[in-house]
Amino acid sequence: MIRKWFPVAVAAVLLVTGCGRPFVHRGLPADPLIRLREQLEELFDTPAFGNAFWGVLIQSADTGEVVFSHQQNKSFVPASNIKLFTTAVALLKLGPEFCYHTQVYGLGEIDDAGTLQGSLLVMGFGDPTISGRFNGGKITATLQAWAESLASRGVRIIAGDIIGDDDYLDDQALGRGWAWDYQTDWYAAQISGLSFNDNCVDIKVIPGEHVGDPAGVELNPVTSYITVNNNLKTCRHSWEEKWEIHRHQGTNVVTLTGCMALEGEGYEGWVTVHNPTLYTATVFREVLISRGIGVVGQARDIDELDKSSLADYQQSWPSLVSYTSPPLAQIIAVINKKSQNFYAEQLLKTMGTIFRGQGSFSSGVQLVKETLSELGISPSRFIMVDGSGLSRHNFVTPRQVVTLLSHMARHRFFKHFRDSLSLAGVDGTIGLRMRNTAAQGKVWAKTGYVDRVRALSGYAYSLDGEMFIFSMIVNNYTVPTSLAENVQDRACQLLASFSRQGAFVQK
């Protein structure tokens, strides 16, 4: 459920907790490494987290020595740090040039009048990228390209249906342990063998012209697949503003309630859809009609049909049009820099199909565990249930994270992996963190967040160019999340400021 509540009280607690106090340099030892360790120990011993649990491991990639550790072998909920395992194993098993291929089959002959005497079937292979993300923001660009290609082949009418085939992956649309109240939100989009626009519809809401008027609602793509109940009114003052957007579970009915301030900025975001396969087929049918290609039948999910009649379509009928995704190196950058859950789950299930013959969460996880066991990570002590980390049933240790990152640092695909991570102060989920500090442009890392969990793991480069591999995970804190981020950021700044020659500058 998407919510906005006003007024919002923001507590200024940095000085109270001690997280805002400067490092004390009096009496620090002359040895730079000992000095670094003592400062890290002071940092992670911040009183604000006295009732929480920190797990930390920092290791030099150059020397192999442990710089700092705290509960490195304890299990923590990692949140989106689980994406490091999903994307690393994908690189190792599939390679950076791997691409998805989506096919559109014509289930019938095209006669001289341009009528396809049958249905169009869109066969998905788990591709998460059919959207505007790689098309300059044009959401339906791929579907429009398909329609243009069909028109160029002389197709004027589709006598049958537009069928979406999602059987490449299984039908478990949500991960184990995902909260029920996430289901409207983009970060809990349903998983499907055939997907479109991150399995969301873009929604823009603006206040009405006068107090009491309904708010304005725009959807992109404009589609009959979504029904909007707009009970959202316009109120005068920002302090009155309080609204919700909710998709009713198991439906594509979206209800807006509450009030939006007359002079407010409105809202631009996303709402998930139910049954992404039927959504894709519906929007494709609408695109075909808008292009002037008539469609006699309806949009269909293949699960509604007698599959025995379609068993040999790949051998019997030609692929009329297709789509090839960007390479995996670009896909994992979306997963790690943007922390895109949907992409991560699609990739996990894809690996399940390719290497285990079943496109399920469990098959993908089995492959990940078997791969990690080759790196010395015991499968029995590594708990993974989804590919994104949205579930609170995942458990990893900082040692396991650093072991994975150390292996990737020595692998020939390291640059692809490292560059998929956010760069401090530059891009991704830490693009606004550590700006104008020693860590800016020198820390590549993956964030992780679910309620009361904050994680940061990756690579940091010192003043000497030494690479440190780190994992910092905190669970069960009760202070604002910004304080956990403050501790992590200052630790990264210490690493980026470090020199074994003794030149140490903390910005």
pLDDT tens-digit series, residues 403-458: 999 999 999 999 999 999 999 999 999 999 999 999 999 999 999 999 999 999 99
pLDDT exceeds cutoff 80 at 63: yes
CATH class of 32-96+329-497: alpha beta
pLDDT at residue 353 tops 50: yes
The interaxial angle of helices 82-94 and 341-356, nearest 10 deg, is 40
pLDDT at position 21 over 70: no
**pLDDT at residue number 57:** 98
Element (H, E) at 68: strand 66-70
Lowest pLDDT segment from 73-77, 256-260, 309-313, 461-465? 309-313
Question: At 151, which helix (H) or strand (E)?
Answer: helix 141-152
Instruction: Please identify which residue in the block is written with the tokens 């390719």.
Output: 354
Strands 216-220 and 453-461: unpaired
Give the model's confidence band at 360: pLDDT under 50 very low, under 70 low, under 90 confident, else very high. very high
Return the pLDDT at 28: 58
Residue 248 pLDDT exceeds 90: yes
Please state whether the predicted TM-score (pTM) of the whole model is above 0.85: yes
Of 322, 324, 314, 326, the C-alpha closest to 149 is 322
Residue range(s) occupied by CATH 3.50.80.20 in the chain: 99-326
Whole-number mean pLDDT of the chain?
93
Query: Domain 99-326: which topology?
Result: D-tyrosyl-trna(Tyr) Deacylase; Chain: A; (3.50.80)
Taking CA atoms, 194 is separated from 303, 361, 435, in Å, by: 12, 16, 39
Q: Where in the chain is the domain with CATH 3.40.710.10?
A: 32-96+329-497
277 contacts 299 by C-beta, under 8 angstroms:
no
pLDDT exceeds 80 at position 180: yes
